[in-house]
Amino acid sequence: QKEVEQNSGPLSVPEGAIASLNCTYSDRGSQSFFWYRQYSGKSPELIMFIYSNGDKEDGRFTAQLNKASQYVSLLIRDSQPSDSATYLCAVNKNTDKLIFGTGTRLQVFP
């Protein structure tokens, strides 16, 4: 079992819809959770992080964490074609290194 699992996609959503990206992790000791966006041929860009159970909103993005179920999700409201990218989930077990999933490819079509 991988430590961080994501559906590879692609997840296709129409412009203006809500995109929901999910991630599960295996280690209950994981303490902080990150979402990165990676455009093709580019490096990962930090979108959001979350430490506590519940929701955290930043503009069109909402991160959701459920430690009991060991999942973290990212919602993108009013999806735009420019949101089309691979979204990487990463967890940190208070050892400073990030453990990444393989990413979910999101396609937003006009």
Partner 1 sequence: GAGVSQTPSNKVTEKGKYVELRCDPISGHTALYWYRQSLGQGPEFLIYFQGTGAADDSGLPNDRFFAVRPEGSVSTLKIQRTERGDSAVYLCASSPGNNEQFFGPGTRLTVL
Which residues would be at the binding site for partner 1 (CB under 8 A)? 4, 8, 32, 34, 36, 42-46, 49, 88, 90, 92, 95-103
Do 9 and 104 contact (CB within 8 A), yes or no? Answer: yes
Bridge partners (DSSP) of residue 12 are: 107
Nearer residue to partner 1 within complex by CB, 19 or 101: 101
**Residue 96: burial class (beta carbons within 10 Å; 0-12, 13-18, 19+):** exposed
Cα–Cα distance measured from residue 98 to residue 88, given in angstroms and rounded to the nearest whole number: 11
> Cβ 96 to partner 1, closest distance in Å?
5
The residue (of 19 and 37) whose beta carbon lies closer to partner 1 is: 37
Q: Which residue, 60 or 93, is less far from partner 1 as judged by CB?
A: 93
